[in-house]
Structure 1
């Protein structure tokens, strides 16, 4: 390559962008080989295509040829950046076919992308696996949506497109991917049909806005989570999913659990606050019914209802505290924004929370003391209403939770 190749690339770029005195730009048709830039080219690529590889010698050459075909179709300059951790001939084959090969200094699927994205030069970035499951000749329809401003990130949807026989296990196609997609849409408002499609195109600005950091397989989820949480526009086009070349590196259940775990811990509102609020409402309602003796449809609610309601109230309040703690102590993609968490983290200082908790604690203690005095003064003959004991106990415990929760929140906020 060297000086001659760099000079030719520059000349072609001038012709492609501005035309020449002899030939108009519309008459110029460069081949994919001419449009695929080397690492030392002075021409800035429009599109950078990133492929993480781990022993993909069976498919890498075909994938690069597909990228060349896409560049030729669009008549834009591009580069293929291969983030390689292989022990086979993958890097040699990639270089022979015109790719820029880099070796990440860390491990993991996500880290390979993070490392590569720091080394790309294009204004638009595409990503996809190098195992021939994604046909990179379909890149133009995704890039066009991003270049036109229709989307910040465009994704190829396998579930809305065609999945060729032998390309995806039925468990992934009908259970795993739809379920994980549903989680992402509910928790993060992604609004996509195939959240774990690996074929994506996005702007450099969108990538910087997403601010991803996961090094493992959950990186694919994190991109969608960050995009949804930060109101980036995501669009999809149907694509064809092909059988892979070579050995699969995906472990269905461990990798699936990593995605679910990552989604849950980054959405404390759904993991803690929402269930906690629901349990608290049911618990308080049960306590009130048991304490007041109200009947519904002839049904009476006694001590067992009161005990159950007390347990639900305490458990629900504790879960809501967990939601507040996790929102403050970590940096979740989607922090809890329910009224309790907002009130507890934004409006309640340590002193105010401890004061409120102390008042609830003292009220429960006073009510319990009143019940005890009533029992003693009756000569130990008139037992207090059992549900009243439960109410007093719940108030004492809630007060303690509030006091010590306020101190913990104060220490986490520092």
Structure 2
């Protein structure tokens, strides 16, 4: 249990564990990962708990610090504010011990939430929305992603790459487990009103969870929006230059400019998905054809060459338009939409060339960071 000034509830939590131990026969240790200024650690020690004091702040760090000091084959975690009924811990632990699940979570939203235990904002909006995000991005398939009452095998921690130090730790564990196709089960639980003052800040901590989920899913944050904008831009620009009418409406220069902007912005946003995948090693790596193709088959030289070809094509087309203009004594402008097409190609080509060098620089640094010898397999934009 991570604690920060939980003297109002710590005694009841530990005594509930004792009651469950006597009924279940499990042999346990209770570890309190404490950062308190009140009597929480003294009370815990009086009741026989092991108290450790993390050398850095943070909810997630408190858990990670304590995990390294656990001696059991299985771990149960939960908050020490009496919101979770620790007499129920064998119910969570049994499926893990029996090999039916890697992680078991207590679902508050599928269970019972006592009056006053959870703010309506969290119960009906915050937790359901955050859970929906997490399930969409990481295929976790859970009903209450931010329940802190969980049981799992200790060796699961060797498979997960848990790095966060703050409240987003609750999301990280389920995100990583879902991305690794671990078996996650849920058991309905009763959620009680807390003892002591709440430390959760709804909007700040909620945003930290959303930000963390998005940054670790570049496909949803960058690749999909970029692809949609790019394809829409191509469609719009094509309508503008082919004089196609829809419902009697024609598309002119303003449509062409809009299409150009969508193509350029879409390309840049989509490129960020590849940058993020290379640089950050996200939990949910993109598996779309474009990103995988760039990562596995395209080198700096190939991307830069493609960019140079597009740039030269645009430059040649722009030169031909200027020649046409000159032949009229600079009195009659050629088709303006042609200018938009030409300069879109020029800018896109320049972006490709410089993005290729930037991706190569990022990939080289990433390889050096993960491999001191600097050896690696495949092109990986080398």
- With structure 1 as the length reference, what TM-score do the two structures score? 0.86
Q: How far apart, in 2, do the equivalents of 1:180 and 1:73 lie? A: 36
Q: 1:96 corresponds to which residue?
A: 46
CA distance in 1, matches of 2:267, 2:290: 10
User: 1:386-405 to 2 correspondence within 5 Å?
Assistant: 386-405=336-355
Equivalence for 2:31: 81
Of 86, 91, 97, the residue aligned with 1:141 is 91
Counterparts of 1:73 and 1:381, CA distance in 2: 95
Given the alignment, which residue of 233, 238, 250 partners 1:288? 238
Per-residue deviation, 1:280: 0.4
Output one character per residue of 1:335-362: Cα deviation in whole Å (capped at 9) or x when no partner: 2222222222221101111100000000
Shift of 1:309: 0.6
How far does residue 266 in structure 1 lie from its aligned partner after superposition?
A: 1.0
Q: Classify the secondary structure of the residue corresponding to 2:33.
A: strand
Matched, 1:267 2:217: yes
Deviation at 1:296, TM superposition (A): 2.2
Larger Rg: 1
Find the counterpart in structure 1 of residue 116 from structure 2.
Answer: 166
Q: Secondary structure at the match of 1:125?
A: strand
SS of match in other structure, 1:299: coil
| Counterpart in the other structure of 1:26 | none
In the alignment of these two chains, the number of paired residues is 364
Q: Does structure 2 retain, via aligned residues, the 8 Å contact 1:95–1:101?
A: yes
> Cα offset for 1:146?
1.1
Residue equivalent to 1:410: 360
**Alpha-carbon shift at residue 148 of structure 1 (Å):** 1.8
Counterpart position of 2:151: 201
Distance in 2, matches of 1:209 and 1:297, equals 57
The answer to whether the 8 A contact 1:268-1:323 is kept is yes
Shift in Å at residue 305 of structure 1? 0.9
Partner of 2:196: 246
2:254 to 296, 304, 323: 304
Counterpart check, 1:379 vs 2:332: no
Map 1:102-113 onto structure 2 (within 5 A): 102-113=52-63
Offset from partner CA, 1:94-119 (integer Å, 9 cap, x none): 11111111111111000000000000
In 1, Cα distance between the equivalents of 2:161 and 2:363? 23
Deviation at 1:211, TM superposition (A): 1.8
Choose which of 277, 285, 299 in structure 1 pairs with 2:227: 277
RMSD: 1.0
1:335 is aligned to: 285
Name the SS for the 1:161 alignment partner.
strand
Residue of structure 2 aligned with 1:219, choices 158, 169, 175: 169
Q: 1:371 & 1:73 partners in 2: Cα distance? A: 86
- Flag as ranges the 4+ runs of structure 1 deviating above 4 A: none
Rounded Cα–Cα distance in structure 2 between residues aligned with 1:379 and 1:226: 66
Unaligned runs of 5+ in 2: 365-382
- Cα deviation for residue 261 of structure 1 reads 0.9
Aligned position for 2:377: none
Q: Is residue 118 of structure 1 aligned with residue 68 of structure 2?
A: yes
Structure 1 unaligned spans of 5+:
1-50
How far apart, CA to CA, are the structure 2 residues paired with 1:293 and 1:79?
76
Provide the residue aligned with 1:361 in structure 2: 311
How far, CA to CA, are the matches of 1:74 and 1:394 in structure 2?
70
1:206–1:232 Cα contact (<8 Å) kept: no
